[in-house]
Amino acid sequence: MASIDKQSVRSKFDEIKSNFQEQVDSGKVNPEVSAMFNALIMLFEIVLSIFLERKTKKNSKNSSIPPSQTNKDESALGSQGSNSKGKNENNAIANNTRVNETITLIQVNTCNICGEDLSQAPAHECERRTKIDIIFEKTMAHFDAEIKQCTACKSTVKGQFPSDMPGPLQYGNGLKAYIINLAVCQMVALGRIQKLVKSMIGVVISEASILKFILRLHQALADWEASSIEKILKHQSIYVDETSLRVNKKNYWIHVHCAEDITLKFLHRKRGIEAIEYINIIPRYGGAIVHDCWASYLSYKHCEHGLCGSHLLRELTFVVESNSYAWARNMKRLLQETCRAVSKSKVKKLSEKDYANLQKRYRNILTRGEKELPSIPPNPKGRRGKIAKSDAHNLWERLKKHETAVLLFAKNSHVSFTNNRAERDLRMAKVKQKVSGCFRTEIYAQAYCRISSYLQTMANKGINPLIAIQMALAGEIES
C-alpha cells in the first residue's frame, strides 16, 4: 500500500495558499473568486487536518493508549529503564514466621599440600557461605473443653473455649493473611489458591471460605476507610482518576483518591457526577484536585483544578506528529521547560515574576496557534449540534479555556505536574482483571477496592502486606 509524506503534503498546501495570496495582493484576482477560493482553502485545511490525524497512529507516547495495547515496534524498545527500586520497605517479617538458623564449622585438620597436622593450629579467619530455604510447617492447636456434672445441682457444665474459637474448626490469621495476599496482591485465581494451599497444609479450603476471609477483612477495614477519608480531606492537594472494571458482565468504575501515603478506591456503577456525589469526598474538599480534565471534576468550582501534564504532552506530541503545527511544538517545549524549572526550585514553584512571564509566553503561543489552525465554518442554518473539530482544535481550546489549571503546578508547590500517582494506584486493578477475570458480585469488587486501598497505603508506609493483613484481622490497624 502506498504511503503518504505528511510533511510534503502540508508544505505543498502552504505553498499553494501563499501563491494565491500573492495573486490576491497584486490585484489579479477579483473579490468573488477570492471569496470562493478562500472558502475552499478553509474547507481543505479542515479536511487535511483531520485526514493527517487519522493517518497518524496513536500509541502510548502520543495518546492515553496503554503500552499493553501498543505494538512492540511502537513501544519504548531499547530505551534505558529506571534504576529506581521504589520506596524502601520495612524489613520486618510476619509475626507467624520462625527463623531456624544454624552454624556449622568446617574444621581444617590437615594440610592438603604437605599433610601437616593442623588440628591444634588456630584459624586466623573464616569464609562463610549461606543457604536459605523454606520449610512449610503446619501448626495445629487442639482445645479440649471438659464437660462435668455438678454434684450439687446436677447441671452440666462445659469449659469455655477461647473467643476466637466459635466453631469446631478455625483457621489462624497467618493462613488467612497468606490467602488474602494471594487473592488481592498477587491476583491469583481462587482455584489456583486452593491447589497451592492444599500442597502446603494438605487441606482443601473451599472457595466459600476464601471469600469469607476476604469479606471479614473488608468489614474490619470499614473504620480505617472512614478515618482515611477524613485525613485525605485535610491535604492541600489530591489526585483523582477512574478506570473501568467488569462486575457480573457489567461495566463499573473504580474511582481513586490519593494524597501522600493514602490511597482510597471506591466502586460505583457510574463514572460521572453521580458517583462523585455518592463517594462524597470532592464535594467536601476545598484544596486542589489534579486530574485529566474529566468534565465531572471541573463542575466543582469550589476546588482548584490542576490538569495532568503527561496527558497534555502526549496529546501535543500527536498534534506535532500528525500536522507539524509549530504552536504545539512550542507549547510542549514550554511545559517541559517549566516542569524542569519547578522541580529544580527549592520552593517547588515559580516566583511571581517568572509565573507572569510564563503566562505571557503561554498566551503568545496560543495566539499564534489560532492563526495556524484552520478556521471553523459556522453551523449551517437549521442544523443542530456542534460541528466536529480536529484533535488539534479541541486541544487548543482546552489549553486556552483552562490556562489556570494547566499552569497550577507552577504556582502551587503542593500540586504535581502530572496525575501519575492516581494512575499508578489504578494500574493493578486492570492487571487483576486481565489475569484473573472479572468479579461475579458487586460486594466482592467493593471488598477488593477497600482491601487494595489499605494494602497500597500500608505499602506506601513500607509495611509488609502479610503484617498489614494480620494487623487488620486482629483489630490492630495502624492508622
- Give the residue extent of every domain in the chain: 171-287+447-479
Q: How far apart are CA 255 and CA 232, in angstroms?
A: 14
CB 447 within 8 A of CB 214: yes
- Reduced to 3 states (helix: H, G, I; strand: E, B; else coil), residue 135 is coil
CB 90 within 8 A of CB 462: yes
Q: What is the pTM of this model?
A: 0.78
What are the φ and ψ backbone dihedral angles of 148, each rounded to 5 degrees? -125, 160
CB neighbour burial string for 447-460, b if at least 16 within 10 angstroms, e if fewer = bbbbbbbbbbbbbe
CB 472 within 8 A of CB 454: yes
Q: How far apart are CA 362 and CA 368, in angstroms?
A: 10
CB 235 within 8 A of CB 260: yes
Per-residue pLDDT 10s for the chain (479 aa) are 345 555 666 666 677 777 777 777 777 777 777 777 666 666 666 666 666 666 667 666 776 666 555 444 333 333 344 444 455 666 666 677 777 888 888 888 888 888 888 888 888 888 888 888 777 778 888 999 988 888 888 899 888 888 888 888 888 888 999 999 999 988 888 999 999 999 988 889 999 999 999 999 999 999 999 999 999 999 999 999 999 999 988 999 999 999 999 999 999 999 999 999 999 999 999 999 999 999 999 999 999 999 999 999 999 999 898 888 899 999 999 999 999 999 999 999 999 999 999 999 999 999 999 988 887 766 666 666 666 678 888 999 999 999 999 999 999 999 999 999 999 999 989 888 888 778 889 999 999 999 999 999 999 998 989 999 999 998 887 65
Q: How far apart are CA 244 and CA 287, in angstroms?
A: 26
Q: Say what angle helices 190-201 and 173-180 make with each other, to 10 degrees.
A: 140
Question: Which cell numbers in the block locate residue 110?
Answer: 590437615
